[in-house]
Structures are given as C-alpha cells and as structure tokens.
Structure 1
Amino acid sequence: MLLIKNGTLIIGTGSIGKGDLLIDGGKIIKTGKNLKADDRTKVLDAEGKFVTPGLIDVHTHLGVHEEGIGLAGHDYNETSDPVTPYVRAIDGINPNEKGFEDARKAGVTTVQVMPGSANVIGGEMVVLKTAGIVIDQMVLRSPSGMKAAFGENPKRFYGSKGKTPVTRMGIAALFRKEMKRAQDYLRKLENGEVIDFDLGAEQLINVLKGVIPIRAHAHRADDIATILRLAKEFNIEVTIEHCTEGHQIASYIAGHNVHVSVGPTLSTRSKIELADKGWHTLNALDQAGVPVSITTDHPVVGIDSLILSAIAAVKHGLSEETAWKAITINAAKHLGVDERVGSLEPGKDADVVVWSGDPFDARSTVEKTLINGETIYDSGISSNK
C-alpha cells in the first residue's frame, strides 16, 4: 500500500483541500484527512504539494505519428482510399515513441490515439495508458471510436488526385454511402443470409449498434451541423473533434447531447478553417452547457502542453473547475472510461500526479506520475514499465 499524505487534493470533481490518498493493488482505496498507515504501508509526504488525477488527452496521434523521423513515422493516414473503416490505430502505434515519455513527464496518463483526418472514414481508435512496452498491455478501451473527417482535409487529399471527395457534398455522400452499406450488411446478417465477409462493414456495425461512437473531425460550423444531421439520420452516437467554430452554434450543439473536444488552440492558424480559432470557443460551449474536453492533437501541439492549454483557457475566461474537468473527468466521460479514470475516487485506477505546486501555475512541475499505483516518472527519472 501507498499513503500520500498532507497534499492539496484535487479530486477531479472538485478539491477537498489538504488531505491524504490511500492506494493499494493499483486502485484508489480512500481519500480523506488524517488517514492512518500500518506497517505494510509506504508513506509519501506531499506537504506543500498538489495531488491530482492523471491528465487525459482525448484526441492524439501519439505513437502513430512518430516525431523527428519523417515519412517513416507517418503511420496515421491510410491514404490508399478515402474510406478505410477496416484499419485500426492500435496496429500502427509504437509504444517506444518519444511522445509517450513526454506524456508521462507531463502527468498525462491516459490518451486516445486515432487515425488522421485525410479520410472520410479513417478507422478505429484506442484509449491507452501512457506506460508500457506492449500496446495490448496498455489498452483501456479498444476500440473506442471510429474516425470520420469533414471539411478541407479529405477534399485536399483526394480532390487533388481527381478522386471523390472533391466537395463537402462528396464527403457527406461518401459517409452516407458507407453507412448505408453497413446497414444493409447488418440486416443481411440478422436475417441469416449468406454474404461475403466485409471487414469494413463489420467494424461499422459497432457504430450502428451503439458500441462505439463516430468521432468526427470538424472545424467549421456548417461541417459540425452536417455531422449532427448524419448522426440523426443513422441514429448513431457522435463526438465532435476540434469544434473550432463551435461558439458560432453553441446552443444548437447543446441541443444534440454530444461531447466535444476543443483544440489544439495553442497552435497557429495553419489553414483557412482555423480563421476563427480562439479560447472563446470553450467559453461559449461551456456557457451553453456542452461538455467540453481540451486536446493538444499531439503532435500538432506537444502532449506536454496539455496543462498549458488548460492554463491558457483559464487565462481567457474559463473557470478553473471547468478547465480541470476538461482534462480529467469530462475527458474520461468523452472517452467512455470514467468508471476507471478521471478522478481520485475509491475503486478507480490509481493514476495520480504529484505536483510541486498548483497545476494552474505554469511554474509548477510534475514530481511524480503514477499509473495503476506504480511510479512511472519520478523527479526527472522516467521508467517505461
């Protein structure tokens, strides 16, 4: 057992001030004040420090876009076809990629890794812990969603080659065509008809049955509206990823009961769809009652800047409570893993970060990162277990 004493605890659903945290068997056992230790318990004094849940980034390309090695590390877009529901991010992730170490050092313990946004339908994604040497041993949820992309990226990748989609109409049409095909495949399966096996349709069945959501890349407000229209047509769950112009239609989004990830707002306006990018998006969505998460879209913005993104959001008007939830408990709910991570509650995984000071002070540093109760980063010494 491990007892972390005398730290300022930010539970993830709020702060209880100075208190203690008891960990055993990789799980959180109890939080409170003046918890007692027995002879078997290791005690860590966190006097003057902050103790928080591990941070969560809901939208990354960690390990499928390896930094610093060029084309050989670009395993995030299967650009052989604009519709590739049969591919899986899990099959392209390198757990030894430097970004995982950066995540651990920054207190990021859970990430969702997904295909890129070149394709209208890009394949399955996975939620991982950030420590491990075999991806299968790091998995928290697999699959965790099906990637889709709307707007300029599919047009740019395939329209320039004279292939569909050339327009936004073409993107929506391809999406509808593939979903209709999967619906027909499912109907035949349920009727016991003899059909040729189709891996893409098989994986889209998980979307149609509500096992996983479509996680849809969209920046412009009209693209967001298209996604919501298609979600209604096929009666499927969706999340909106990026949502750059979400502030323009915040109340409309709020009426559709969807989770939204916003970011990477620390990035530059690298394309036309980002012209109205800013921290005001988070504020407007939050005020409309939309549950928001903050993302770095690593490696667009480095994974180690997740907390800096939250700090910047607070600087521009978002409450500390909302910003904190956007990288912990709301992020866990966005990913459908909130029963395991996102807060320091009894029974959840002991993914814990000890900070030198207030995490919302950019001068504070991560002193320890624990995943499943094991220290995987300690005062600048990283261990990949």
Structure 2
Amino acid sequence: MTVTPGLIDAHTHIGTCPEGTPYSMTDENDMTDPSTPQLRILDSIYPFDEAFGEARKGGVTAVQVLPGSANVIGGQGAVIKTRGLVVDEMAVLAPSGMKAALGENPIGVYKEKNQLPTTRMGNAACMRNTLQEAFNYKAAKEHWLAKKDEDKDPFDIKPGMEALLPVVEKKMPLRVHCHRADDIATAVRTAEEFGIELTLEHCTEGHLIPDYLASKKVMAAVGPTLSCRPKIELRHMTWDTLKVFSERAIHFCIITDHPVTPVHSLMLCATMAHRAGLSREEALRAVTLSSAEHLGLEARMGSLEPGKDGDIVLWKGDPFDARTEVAITFIDGAEVYRA
C-alpha cells in the first residue's frame, strides 16, 4: 500500500450545485449584479451533496469552494474539509479569498441584460470601479474612526465594502478566474495598479506567456484540464501548461473546478500531469502541498508532518495507477472512508 497526505482541491464549487440539481436551481452564481462582494459561499454549501462522499472515496480531504464566475466580483470563498453535517464545522478558512472573474463568463451573462460588462474592457472597468470604491470606503472609515466621539456622525456600513477590506489591506487575495492570456495579464495589471494580492484561477493559456508569469511570481491554480473545450477561451487548453510552469518555476497546483471535472478525479488529474511530463513528486505536490500553499494553509495541511492536521490517505497500491483504489481516508485523524 501507499500513504499520502490528503488531497486538496484548491478550486471547486462542491456543495453549491449538488449532484443531479438542474442548473437553474444551483447556488454558485447570483447573476443579478456584476459586483457582489457581499456574498458568502458558506451560505450556499449543502453538506449532504453526494459529491462529498465521492471526494472522501477519492482521497480528497479539503477543498476551496468559490462562487461561480458569472460576476466580475463574485463574493467570498471558503476552505472546508470534505466531511461534516454543518458547514460552519467543516470550515478551515472563511473567507479564503474574494472571487473575481474576467473573460467570457461575465460578458455572456451581462450582454444578455444589456448592461456593463459586455466586453473584456468592461470586465476590467467593473473590477477597477469596485476596487476603487473599496479603497475610498477604507479611507472614509479610517477618517471617521480618527474623529473624536463627540464629532462622529453615524457611519454607513456597507457589507460589500466591508467584505473587500481584507483585499485592499492585503490580508486576503483576489482570486481571479482568467483563462486567456490577455485576461491573465489584465488580472496581474489590475492587482499591481491597486497593490493587492492575487491568485490566478484556471490560467489556461499561461503556457503562452511563461516568462511574463515567472517575472511576476504569480501563483496559479491550473485546470480543469480533464475536460473538453466548450468555450472559445479554452482553445489552447493542454496538459503541457503544467510542464512549462514547472520548467519556469511558476507556482502551480492542479484543480478540478468540480463539477466541471468530478472532484474525486483529482488524483487522476495528477496522473495525467505526470504522463504529460511532471515528475511523480511534482504531480503529487500539485494536489497536496502546492494546493495548501495556494490557499495559505501549508502550516496545517498538504504534507505528512508532526503538528499538521491528520488528513491522510492509504491507497491499495500506486496512486498513479488509475486502477488503484483508496483503502482508507482520514480527516483530522478520524477515519471517514474505508473501502
């Protein structure tokens, strides 16, 4: 048998679109306004989604759940363990980042509504407008707090802006959905303009601009690559992206974007990456420790070390053999699956 750390999927929508739920009834996208930072994905996660059981069966012990990419600013994500009855008890880090999106998805949603954004420059404008509003709100709140109590008028608390304060204060990253190379560059450019932290989510065409990404020292969650190409911006999707990133020392992890690729297929994705040129060590790291680093949780999970969470998977053989099943999965030291 083989023992590994619990697998970590750093970008999913598990629990927000439960197995068998019609798309019109899923809860990952609130397509009413292109900027909805006040949304919290914790309020949409259904712990009884059958996909959580499949995740444990596949050795996946932790996931980041993010709002969808219909809105330019989509709301707060959360990192949770894949077992539990109440999402508050499953949560490891909430919020874990502010979801944002560039590219086709927001354009497709809001072009039908005949409102901004209907172009890529509209996406960027919406993102900048919201970030600037957040910086203005921060300045106004600090000015109000500095006043003497007798001089203070009531301050108008805005939940959306409060949700963005950790982003503008560089305490939490903006996690930007971006597939195409130009959208990737726009995400980096915008983060630099505002002096905020970001992660690149998907980064499908990242292999076309590797030197640029290496110079920017970005972190990328790459995938889902175990899928077809249903959108124009996925035309250059390839497993070679991971090999190119490895050669340029660009930090990356592998994601499923569940339900686009089922979360229990995460180890299969690592196997495909190994077949495409990553070493076994790099491929395994891309679904364990690199994922933890992407989430800022490497002190708690992602490797087998004293003091870390007891998230452990025992495999019946070589996990890089697609025929190998999980024998036992442990989360926080407790057995949560046995074949």
Query: Is the TM value for this pair above 0.5?
Result: yes
Q: Partners in 1 of 2:156 and 2:124 — Cα distance?
A: 26
Residue 225 of structure 2 aligns with an amino acid whose one-letter code is T
Aligned residue runs from structure 1 range 158-177, under 5 A? 158-177=110-129
Deviations 1:132-185 (A, max 9, x none): 001011111110000000001000000121011011111100100111011000
Unmatched segments (≥5 aa) in structure 2: 146-152
1:245 equivalent in alignment to 2:205:
yes
Of the three residues 77, 83, 94, the one matched with 2:46 is 94
Instruction: Give 1 or 2 for the bigger CA radius of gyration.
Output: 1
TM-score by length of 1: 0.85
Aligned residue runs from structure 1 range 32-111, under 5 A? 49-71=1-23, 73-111=25-63
Deviations 1:94-130 (A, max 9, x none): 0000110110000000000000000000000000000
Deviation at 1:73, TM superposition (A): 4.2
Q: Contact between 2:13 and 2:257, CA under 8 Å: does it hold in 1?
A: yes
Give the match for residue 38 of structure 1: none
Give the match for residue 353 of structure 1: 313
Give secondary structure in 2 for the equivalent of 1:104.
helix
Give the match for residue 19 of structure 1: none
Q: Partners in 2 of 1:210 and 1:91 — Cα distance?
A: 24
Q: What is the root-mean-square deviation of aligned Cα atoms in Å?
A: 0.9
Q: Contact between 2:17 and 2:23, CA under 8 Å: does it hold in 1?
A: no
Give the match for residue 187 of structure 1: 139
Paired residues in the alignment total 331
Q: Partners in 1 of 2:69 and 2:114 — Cα distance?
A: 18
Between Structure 1 and Structure 2, the one with more helix by share is 2
Deviation at 1:187, TM superposition (A): 0.3
Deviates more, 1:189-198 or 1:139-148: 189-198
Residue 233 of structure 1 aligns with an amino acid whose one-letter code is E
Q: Partners in 2 of 1:220 and 1:317 — Cα distance?
A: 23
Q: Partners in 1 of 2:88 and 2:47 — Cα distance?
A: 10
Q: Partners in 1 of 2:187 and 2:99 — Cα distance?
A: 12
Deviations 1:330-350 (A, max 9, x none): 000000111110000010011
Give secondary structure in 1 for the equivalent of 2:216.
coil
Residue 64 of structure 1 aligns with an amino acid whose one-letter code is T
Give the match for residue 265 of structure 2: 305
Runs of 4+ in 1 over 6 A off after TM superposition: none
Residue 117 of structure 1 aligns with an amino acid whose one-letter code is S
1:125 equivalent in alignment to 2:77:
yes
Q: Partners in 2 of 1:364 and 1:97 — Cα distance?
A: 24
Residue 16 of structure 2 aligns with an amino acid whose one-letter code is V
Deviation at 1:285, TM superposition (A): 1.2
Residue 261 of structure 1 aligns with an amino acid whose one-letter code is A
Residue 355 of structure 1 aligns with an amino acid whose one-letter code is W
Q: Contact between 1:66 and 1:73, CA under 8 Å: does it hold in 2?
A: no
Deviation at 1:260, TM superposition (A): 0.3
Percent identity of paired positions between Structure 1 and Structure 2: 50
Give the match for residue 198 of structure 1: 158
Between Structure 1 and Structure 2, the one with more strand by share is 1
Q: Partners in 2 of 1:367 and 1:296 — Cα distance?
A: 22
